Amino acid sequence: MTESKTLTGGALLFEVLQEHGVHHVFGYPGGAIMPIYDALYDSDVKHFLCRHEQGAAFSAVGYARAAGTVGVCLATSGPGATNLITGLADALADSIPVVAITGQVPTAAMGSDAFQEIDIFGLSLACTKHSFQVTDINELEKVLHQAFEIALEGRHGPVLVDIPKDVQLAEVTQRLDKLSHLKNKVKLPLADISKALDLLTHAKQPILYVGGGVGMANAVEEVRDFAEKTGMPSVSTLKGLGAINPDNENHLGMLGMHGTKAANLAVQESDLLVVVGARFDDRVTGKLDEFAPNAKVIHFDIDTAEINKRREADAAILGDLKGNLPLLTTELDIADWQQKLKQMNIDCAWRYDHPGDNIFAPAVLKTVSDLMPSNTCVTTDVGQHQMWSAQHMTFDDPSNFLTSGGMGTMGFGLPAAIGAQISRPHDTVIAVSGDGSIMMNVQELATIKRYQIPVKVVLIDNAKLGMVRQWQDLFFDGRLSETDLSDNPDFVMLATAFDIKSKLITKKSEVKAAVEEMLDHDGPYLLQVKIDAAENVWPLVPPNTANDKMMESV
Amino acid sequence: MNSMTLNKYQLIIMADDKQVVLERILQVTRYRGFLINGINAEVNTGNNVATITMSVSSERPISLLIDQINKLIDIKGVKVDNSEVQIKQHSA
């Protein structure tokens, strides 16, 4: 037991946060959370005032993903709480450990349609891993510990704790042990390892299919060791990028809708998929019935519900990937397959010899990737620039590429970069955004200004909602509906208004020097990169189509 | 006329008697594509364990729903028809 002392609910919150190693939180005050903000005044926890609660939630997500820890955000009741929801949904979709604290109207007023009252507890059911509403001060400490434990237990996820104002003000002396372990916690049974080994050793054309669960399981080292010792060619999901060593010559890049041709063709030809921390997402598989049609499946996952959800596993290995994957690490005789895919990788290599003077976005992102320091953390928003980043940038760890994978949330990149930069103050952090996405949380430039957060923003500007425009061109007969953004603000002037150094480039001859200037700048920087609005992301697997029937251009 | 074939299942769910546990089960059941044909819930006040009996139908395999209900934090176990209780599994 720790030493007892009398605290208000608000003060107790910060005591517990510090017990869990939380030094930074993101939030926005308001009426029903004022006692917590009053307690913050005396706390050693550093609070970052975001300019919208969604920004606070995404900064907490970025913080968690970049540092491999729990991110914490605060919001008041009603609109403050509802503004968190998109961030929590994003964290749920991408399995990110976040603890969200919301203020609530006093218990006596609950259920009376009070000012700024919303049933955030009810709203949280579909967008959190778990949620609590604390109506008894004597329960608060236990619940807060449980929130952290649940966020990190098994498959990570967001947890919301709703605290009425009177509970924040109430005093309590109760002190419990730091952790109250979850009930029913038992070790997951292993599937038949020998069956998986049999599948592995008989495979002639195996592929290692790497997902975001690898980074979350802290199993990058084990996966790299497996890839190296087996010599197995590998592909990555969007969230799995960075897990395989960038120098691994058997890595084929990202698979799926905008995956590399080599990755998609190799998966389609494979006779065994070794799936690590991935879930056969629809953006990965294309037409599910025709995905890797001849492959057996060995599926490693922490979440029982992912096994057989979209693709039947021939061997399922549940539990901690870090401990389980080494059980299958063995040498394989697949030299012919390796050689075939190495040649395919060469034949399908990206080309950057784009004609004309206009800037070619893939080449810009390749330049940024080549010039950025090691261990740079890159965040993205959602759209064409996101896919180009995944295709043309190289990451040396999954925690160095933060993108909204499952939810695909525009507005993610800028606040996530703020969170990442605060968690890793000595690393370079770059937010790659689009002119549509950046406007979704543009108010967070004020957060950058306030704290002088040295985030670099690469704004790929085609004055369009580019990905939607691309699909309208390809699949809706060119009927461009509400995708023109040619009346965007002057982004350089906008950045200047927030005291952020900025530059606009329009010609490919300007790219290298501008990227160097951005990276050399000591503070925040916004580089606006004008590109041709007609550029598309290639290759593209059309909807409900097998991955080997990708479009490469029109 | 709907030609979809629905399979019917009877679930018996054991849960800690916590806030909104019933709402959580209902939300997951609807979201995962199962229709609720009937439900009964009782609480043993001695051990604070709720027993929820629920009839559901869907064209989807019942294992998909069982796995998702089992993931809910307050669930102790799910039993289908007369089969064995599928014990909740957590990582170590």
B58 touches chain A (CB under 8 A): no
Contact yes or no for A122 and B92 at CB 8 A: no
In a domain, A183, yes or no: no
Contact yes or no for B89 and A186 at CB 8 A: yes
Q: What is the mean pLDDT of residues A60-81?
A: 98
Q: Give the strands of the sheet with A251-254, arranged side by side.
A: A251-254, A234-236, A206-210, A272-276, A296-301, A315-318
**Domain match, A431 and A525 both:** yes
pLDDT of residue A192: 75
Which of A72, A59, A86 is closest to A410 using CA atoms? Answer: A86
**Domain match, A134 and A262 both:** no
A319 touches chain B (CB under 8 A): yes
A183 pLDDT exceeds 60? Answer: no
Neighbours of A515 (CB within 10 A): 24
CATH number, residue A280: 3.40.50.1220
Q: Which of B24, B68, B88 sits opposite A125 (nearest CB)?
A: B24
In a domain, A312, yes or no: yes
Q: What secondary structure does DSSP assign to A115-179, as a single string?
A: TT---HHHHGGGTSSEEEE--SHHHHHHHHHHHHHHHHSSS--EEEEEEEHHHHH-EE-----S-
A510 pLDDT exceeds 70? Answer: yes
Neighbours of A349 (CB within 10 A): 11
Which residue is catalytic, options A393, A467, A518, A550? A467
Q: What is the C-alpha separation between A396 and A174, in angstroms, rounded?
A: 45
In a domain, A178, yes or no: no
Query: Which residues on chain B are in Cβ contact (under 8 Å) with A181?
Result: none
Q: What is the C-alpha separation between A364 and A391, in angstroms, rounded?
A: 12
Q: What is the C-alpha separation between A369 and B65, in angstroms, rounded?
A: 43
Does domain B8-81 fall under CATH 3.30.70.260? My reply is yes
Number of domains into which chain A is organized: 3
Buried b (16+ CB within 10 A) or exposed e, B37-75: eebeeeeeeeeeebbbebebebeeebebbbbbbbbbbbb
The 3-state secondary structure of A498-532, one letter per residue: CCCEEEEECEHHHHHHHHHHHHHCCCCEEEEEEEC
A154 touches chain B (CB under 8 A): yes
Q: What is the C-alpha separation between B86 and B21, in angstroms, rounded?
A: 18
DSSP 8-state symbol, A386: H
- Domain span at residue A244? 193-347
Q: What secondary structure does DSSP assign to A408-470, as a single string?
A: --TT-HHHHHHHHHHH-TTS-EEEEEETTGGGGSGGGHHHHHHHT---EEEEEE-SB-HHHHH
**Domain match, A318 and A381 both:** no
Residue in chain A lying closest to B71 (CA) = A305
**Domain match, A372 and A414 both:** yes
Query: Which residues on chain B are in Cβ contact (under 8 Å) with A304?
Result: 67, 70-71, 89
Phi, psi torsion values for A514, nearest 5 degrees = -70, -40
B84 pLDDT exceeds 50? Answer: no
In a domain, A456, yes or no: yes
Q: Give the tens place of pLDDT for each residue, A246-257.
A: 999 999 999 999
B27 touches chain A (CB under 8 A): yes
Residue B34 zone, left/alpha/beta (φ > 0; ψ -120 to 50; rest): beta
Residue in chain B lying closest to A124 (CA) = B24
Contact yes or no for A319 and B91 at CB 8 A: yes
Q: What's the whole-number average pLDDT of chain B?
A: 87
Termini Cα distance of chain A: 68
- The domain ranges of chain B are 8-81
Contact yes or no for A304 and B31 at CB 8 A: no
Contact yes or no for B87 and A186 at CB 8 A: yes
Contact yes or no for A304 and B67 at CB 8 A: yes
Q: Give the tens place of pLDDT for each residue, A194-213.
A: 899 999 999 999 999 999 99
Contact yes or no for B89 and A133 at CB 8 A: no
Contact yes or no for B90 and A308 at CB 8 A: no
**Domain match, A23 and A156 both:** yes
Query: Which residues on chain A are in Cβ contact (under 8 Å) with B71?
Result: 303-305
Q: Give the tens place of pLDDT for each residue, A416-473.
A: 999 999 999 999 999 999 999 999 999 999 999 999 999 999 999 999 999 999 999 9
How far B32 CA lies from chain A's nearest CA (Å)?
A: 11
**pTM of the complete model:** 0.96
Contact yes or no for B70 and A126 at CB 8 A: no
Q: By percentage, how much of chain A surpasses pLDDT 90?
A: 94
Q: Give the tens place of pLDDT for each residue, A347-366.
A: 999 999 999 999 999 999 99
In a domain, A554, yes or no: no
In a domain, A259, yes or no: yes
Of A347, A381, A409, which one is at a domain's C-terminal end?
A: A347
B63 touches chain A (CB under 8 A): yes
- A110 close to A432: Cβ distance less than 8 angstroms: no
A185 pLDDT exceeds 50? Answer: no
| Chain A / chain B CB contacts < 8 angstroms | 61
Q: Find residues 69-88 of chain B whose CB sits inside 8 Å of chain A.
A: 70-73, 76, 87-88
CATH number, residue A476: 3.40.50.970
DSSP 8-state symbol, A334: -
**Domain match, A200 and A306 both:** yes
pLDDT of residue A5: 82
The region of weakest confidence among A4-8, A255-259, A358-362, A407-411 is A4-8
**Domain match, A86 and A158 both:** yes
Of A318, A347, A376, which one is at a domain's C-terminal end?
A: A347
Q: Which of B20, B70, B92 sits opposite A121 (nearest CB)?
A: B20
Q: What is the mean pLDDT of residues A125-151?
A: 97
The region of weakest confidence among A399-403, A544-548, B15-19, B81-85 is B81-85
Q: Give the tens place of pLDDT for each residue, A18-66.
A: 999 999 999 999 999 999 999 999 999 999 999 999 999 999 999 999 9
In a domain, A524, yes or no: yes
Which of A144, A146, A172, A159 is closest to A18 using CA atoms? Answer: A144
Which residue is catalytic, options A116, A174, A338, A443? A116
Instruction: Return the ∠ at Cα B62 (arms to A182 and A195), rounded to 5°.
Output: 75
pLDDT of residue A553: 83
**Domain match, A165 and A24 both:** yes
Which residue is catalytic, options A165, A239, A456, A464? A165
In a domain, A474, yes or no: yes
